[in-house]
């Protein structure tokens, strides 16, 4: 997931919200639609940034039993950076 979609949504929303004066298309107000697109674009952008900046944790737990019946548990946690976004 890249940044192009949310930025495009924000730009379209700002054009609709700021370029028109009191325009209505049927029951729909263009200015209100523009602000809704801006807000959804900002939320989408924030979610994309959070998703790309989080580290991934993987925990592995292994339990072994020896010949006398004693059990030992080993736990290992790996942290890795998420993969880079695909090139467009």
- Whether the predicted model's global pTM rises above the 0.75 cut: no
Of residues 58 and 29, more confidence is placed in: 29
Q: Is residue 72 situated within a structural domain? A: no
The single-letter DSSP state of residue 84 is P
Helix (H) or strand (E) holding 65: strand 56-65
| 31-75 pLDDT tens trace | 999 999 999 999 999 998 888 777 677 788 888 888 888 888 888
| pLDDT of the residue at 25 | 78
Cβ pair 56, 6 in contact under 8 A = no
Q: Answer yes or no: is pLDDT of 6 > 80.
A: yes
> How many domains does the chain fold into?
1
What pLDDT does residue 59 have?
A: 81
Helix (H) or strand (E) holding 18: helix 4-19
> Domain span at residue 39?
1-49
Q: Domain for residue 88, yes or no? A: no
Q: Is the residue at 82 inside a domain?
A: no
Whole-Å CA distances, 2 to 29, 53, 56, 82: 30, 13, 19, 14
pLDDT (average), residues 23-31: 83
């Amino acid at each position: 997931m890249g940044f192009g979609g949310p930025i495009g949504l924000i730009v379209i929303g700002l054009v609709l919200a700021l370029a028109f004066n009191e325009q209505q298309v049927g029951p729909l107000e263009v200015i209100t639609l523009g602000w809704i697109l801006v807000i959804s674009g900002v939320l989408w952008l924030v979610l994309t940034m959070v998703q790309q900046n989080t580290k991934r944790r993987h925990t592995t737990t292994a339990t072994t039993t020896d010949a006398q019946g004693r059990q030992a548990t080993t736990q290992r946690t790996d942290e890795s950076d998420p993969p880079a976004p695909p090139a467009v």
